[in-house]
Amino acid sequence: MRLKEMRKQNVVISDAKSGINMAIKVSMSNSSLFSSAAPGGYISIPRKKLLKKIETGGARINAWVDSMKASSPTHIKSSGSISATEDQGSWILHHPSALSMFEQITNASKGKQIVMFLDYDGTLSPIVDDPDRAFMSDAMRATVRDVARYFPTAIVSGRCRDKVYSFVRLAELYYAGSHGMDIKGPAKGRKYKKGNQGVLFQPASEFLPMIDEVYTTLLEKTKSTPGAKVENNKFCVSVHFRCVDEKSWSALAEQVRSVLKEYPKLLLTQGRKVLEIRPTIKWDKGKALEFLLESLGFADCNDVLPVYIGDDRTDEDAFKVLRERGQGLGILVSKIPKDTNASYSLQEPSEARTFANT
Ligand SMILES: O=P(O)(O)OC[C@H]1O[C@H](O[C@H]2O[C@H](CO)[C@@H](O)[C@H](O)[C@H]2O)[C@H](O)[C@@H](O)[C@@H]1O
């Protein structure tokens, strides 16, 4: 298998202590993570504008609802097949399939330690209506287990860390839940580090009471909307639109906005038919990726090749970090063209499995 060939070329990580020190160093600079600027100050410009729209007025909230409708595959298919096909063709040229580029990727990994970062929903598990039933297949679990035998591997998810762990059930991985705001090292097989099995980093712990309060308020506020679901992700909250009639999306988004306006220290981001409420700290999946690389002893290191596979807007923060470092591979899982900082694409979770298995 080619993955195993790559493993033979890789350097071995052995410096445990530096990882721990690195973790502490970053933790101690926590205070600098907290933004006194306006909510959303750290995210990329298009989303910042979008957030501002959500936060500043009921009328403008429709912009988000429209964007969510427009990006749904059903709407794209029905919006004119010729231009959709042309767009697809040009997009794939710029974001070729990671499967078809495997040789180039193998070459890029020569002499480097691959570190795998895997998003969960839409990457390891297919998108389903009920977030509580987004199970990954046994085959996918076996693939991830196999990958983790050769490379340090982290799951980076918007979900609560315990919840994503209950789906993945592999104790040898790193887990970064709540969009990277809750990072924990492997509970077993500490192959890449010694002495640190506990939580590595929780930069938003002071927000826990506020998040709980918002969760309770949102549950109450949205209970009259059929299909709406509010999910407590510990350091953030998700409000799901997937099972809500599209005609009610604007009203639901407005309900969320009306709750959030009482909490200036929280902000909204958008995922796949979901609005996510999170603390206004300068922390995201990209920062989590950097933190984990440092914790593993790969700060300022040329001999590492981080590979990040994700499907969501929130994964863009990680793709952007890789692009800015000029190091690593961002792979977007998507059937449709999307504005992305990823370099490669895969169409769906089954392709992500094939890629990891190859
Ligand atoms: O970072 P991720 O691991 O991709 O998590 C992002 C959100 O994923 C989940 O919601 C998404 O998947 C659900 C199950 O397939 C789907 O029903 C929903 O519409 C999607 O948005 C999860 O429930 C959220 O809490 C995560 O933030």
Arithmetic mean of pLDDT over the chain: 82
For residue 20, pLDDT over 90 is answered with: no
For residue 122 the two structure tokens come to 């839409």
3-state DSSP of 63-105 = HHHHHHHHCCHHHHHCCCHHHHHHHHHHHHHHCCECCCCHHHH
- C-alpha triplet 248, 252, 255: angle, nearest 5°: 145
Label residue 326 left, alpha or beta by phi (over 0 means left) and psi (-120 to 50 means alpha).
left
pLDDT band at residue 155 using 50, 70 and 90 as cut-offs: very high
Average pLDDT estimate for 46-60: 44
Task: Identify the band that residue 39 occupies on the pLDDT scale cut at 50, 70 and 90.
Answer: very low
- Residue keyed to tokens 């679990």: 141
Amino acid occupying residue 176? A
Q: Is the CB of 121 under 6 A from ligand 1?
A: yes
The CA distance from 133 to 148, in Å, is: 24
- Sorted by sequence, the CB contacts under 8 Å of residue 286 that are 6+ apart come out as 180, 317, 318, 319, 320, 321
- Per-residue pLDDT tens for 121-150? 999 999 999 999 999 999 999 999 999 999
Res. 76 pLDDT band, cuts 50 70 90: low
Statement: residue 203 has pLDDT above 70: yes
Ligand 1 atom having least distance to the Cα of 272 = 21
Domain boundaries in the chain?
2-32+86-200+283-357, 34-70+205-279
Provide CATH code, domain 34-70+205-279.
3.30.70.1020
Strands (E), the chain: 113-118, 153-156, 174-177, 182-184, 199-201, 229-232, 237-240, 266-271, 274-279, 304-310, 329-333, 344-346
Query: Strands, E, within 191-337: which ranges?
Result: 199-201, 229-232, 237-240, 266-271, 274-279, 304-310, 329-333
Task: Name the least confident of 37-46, 66-75, 111-120, 248-257.
Answer: 37-46
Average pLDDT over residues 26-40: 28
Residue 355 has pLDDT above 80, yes or no: yes
Q: Please give the CATH topology (third level) of the domain spanning 2-32+86-200+283-357.
A: Rossmann fold (3.40.50)
Q: Is the CB of 10 under 6 A from ligand 1?
A: no
Tell me: pLDDT of 10 over 70.
no
Whether residue 280 is predicted with pLDDT greater than 90 in this model: the reply is yes
Candidate of 274, 276, 333 to mutate for ligand 1, largest count of ligand atoms within 8 Å of Cβ: 274
pLDDT > 60? residue 99: yes
**pLDDT value for 31:** 29
Q: Is the pLDDT at 192 greater than 70, yes or no?
A: no
Q: Which two tokens stand for residue 220?
A: 């109450």
Q: Whose CA is nearest to atom 7 of ligand 1?
A: 158
Ligand 1 neighbourhood includes 119 CB (under 6 angstroms): yes
Which pLDDT score is estimated for 151? 96
For residue 235, with 0-12 CB atoms within 10 Å meaning exposed, 13-18 middle and 19 or more buried, which class applies? buried
Checking if the pLDDT of 323 tops 90, the result is yes
pLDDT at residue number 18: 29
Task: Decide: 290 in ligand 1 pocket, CB within 6 A.
Answer: no
Cβ atoms < 10 Å from Cβ of 27: 14
CA of 306 to the centre of ligand 1 (A): 23
pLDDT of 101 above 60: yes
